[in-house]
Structure 1
Amino acid sequence: MPMPFPSPTVPAAGRTEVFLRYLDYFRETVLSKVSALPPGELRRSRLPSGWTPLELLKHLRYVELRWIEWGFQGRPVEEPWGDRREDRWYVAPDETPDALATALRAQGEHTRVVVEGHDLATVGAPGPRWDGAPPATLERVLFHLLQEYARHLGHLDIVAELAGGPTGE
C-alpha cells in the first residue's frame, strides 16, 4: 500500500518532521512506481534524454549520499558520482531492482538519522561537495533534496504512464 501524502493539515512537531515526512513520501512513491512497472520497462528509456527507471532509483540514492554524507556531514565518499558514467546516469547489468531499492531505503534511513540528530540551522562541514563555496545549512540541503525528489517523481509519473504503469499520486 502506498504511503499517504503528508498533508499540510496533519499536525507536525516542527519543520524537521515536515521535511522527513515529505522525503519519506517521495522516496517511497518513487519506489512504489518503479516496482509496479513491467520488468521490461525497468531498463528501457521512453525519453529522448535516455534515462531508465532503474537509473533514476540509483541517481536518487546518490543525490542523498552527495548532499547528506559528502556534503552536510563532510564525510569522505569513495565514489560520490557513482550513479554516472560518461556524463549519463548508469546502472550496471548486474545491479538488480531489489538491490537498488534496498540501497535507496538505506540511504534514506541514514538521512533520517542525520536530520534527527541536528538542528536545521546547523551549517554543514566544509568539504569538496561545496566546490569552494561556504557549506549550506541542513535546512537548505533538505529543501534541495525535496525539490530534487519532487522533480524526478514528476518525470517518473510521465514515464510510468507511457509504460502502462501506475498513474496519479
Structure 2
Amino acid sequence: MYRARVIGWSRAVPCRGDRGEGSAQCEFLAYQRESVVAIVAGLDDAALRTAVLPSGWTPLGLIEHLGDAERHWLQDVFAGARPGGPDASGFAFYREQCRISDGIIAGATLDTAPVGRHHDEPLASQTTDLRRILLHLIEETARHAGHLDAARELLDGRTGLGPR
C-alpha cells in the first residue's frame, strides 16, 4: 500500500467499510498531498514566500490555500461545521487540516450526502456526496501541485520532485 513519507501519513485512510473505490480515492488524495509538500521540500523561507507565477501565488500561499480547501470541503461543506480560524499556519496548518479531514473521511461512506453546501454553482450541484467531494479535492490538490512544480522550476530550476 502507498506510504506517505514527507508529511507523516503512514497510510491512506479509506472510507468506513470501503475496500475498493473509497480506498483508491483516499490513496490518490494522500499521494497528491504528499506531492505538494515534496515539491517544495528544501526551499528556504524566502523562496517559500516568493511569488514567481503570474497569479501572484507563493509556494507557501498555495500550501495554506490547500489547507483551507481541506477545511472548507470536509469540515464546512461535508460535516456542516463552521470551523474557527486556524491555530497554525503554513505546513502545520495544512498537516492539521489533512489530519482532521482523514478523521471525517474514515467515519463516512462515499454515498453520504454533505450536511452543508458549497456557495457557488455549478460546483455546489456537483458535490452531492463524499465521493464527489473527494474527487474535487483530489483534482484541486493535483492542479495546485502543477502550480507548485512550475514555481519550483522558476525558483531554483529543480524539476521532477515528488514521489513519482
What is the TM-score normalised by the length of structure 2? Answer: 0.77
Q: Which residue of 1 aligns with 2:152?
A: 160
* Secondary structure of the structure 1 residue equivalent to 2:73: helix
* Secondary structure of the structure 1 residue equivalent to 2:156: coil
Contact 1:160–1:166 at 8 Å: present in 2 too? yes
Q: 1:34 to 1:165 in 2, by over 3 A?
A: farther
Q: Which residue of 2 aligns with 1:143?
A: 135
* Secondary structure of the structure 1 residue equivalent to 2:113: coil
Q: Are 1:111 and 2:101 counterparts?
A: yes
User: Percent of aligned positions with the same letter in both sequences?
Assistant: 34
Q: CA deviation at 1:64?
A: 0.7
Q: Are 1:76 and 2:82 counterparts?
A: yes
Q: Which residue of 2 aligns with 1:52?
A: 58
Distance in 2, Cα, partners of 1:41 & 1:165 = 12
How many residues align? The count is: 145
Distance in 2, Cα, partners of 1:18 & 1:36 = 29
Structure 1 segments (4+ residues) deviating >4 Å:
130-135
Q: Which residue of 2 aligns with 1:62?
A: 68
Q: Are 1:17 and 2:23 counterparts?
A: yes
Distance in 2, Cα, partners of 1:126 & 1:154 = 29
Letter of the aligned partner of 2:52 in structure 1? R
Contact 1:36–1:165 at 8 Å: present in 2 too? no
Q: Which residue of 2 aligns with 1:123?
A: 113
* Secondary structure of the structure 2 residue equivalent to 1:121: coil
The unaligned stretches of length 5 or more in structure 1 are 7-11, 83-94
Q: CA deviation at 1:165?
A: 5.7
* Secondary structure of the structure 1 residue equivalent to 2:96: helix
What is the TM-score normalised by the length of structure 1? Answer: 0.74
Q: 1:131 to 1:161 in 2, by over 3 A?
A: closer
The unaligned stretches of length 5 or more in structure 2 are 13-17
